[in-house]
Amino acid sequence: MSLNINTILDAWSEAIAGKIDKLSNITSDDFIFVNQSSNEIMKKRAFLEWTIKSGEGQKMFDYKSIYENEDCLVGTNIITTIDNVNYKVMFFAKLQNQMMTEYHVLARFEDYE
CATH for 5-110?
A: 3.10.450.50
User: For residue 108, what pLDDT band results from cuts at 50, 70 and 90?
Assistant: low
| pTM score above 0.75 | yes
What is the pLDDT at residue 48? Answer: 94
Closest by CA position to 61, among listed 38, 40, 100, 89: 89
User: For residue 111, what pLDDT band results from cuts at 50, 70 and 90?
Assistant: low
Per-residue pLDDT of 63-103, as tens digits, reads: 999 999 999 999 999 988 888 888 888 999 999 999 999 99
Cα–Cα dist 67/82, whole Å: 30
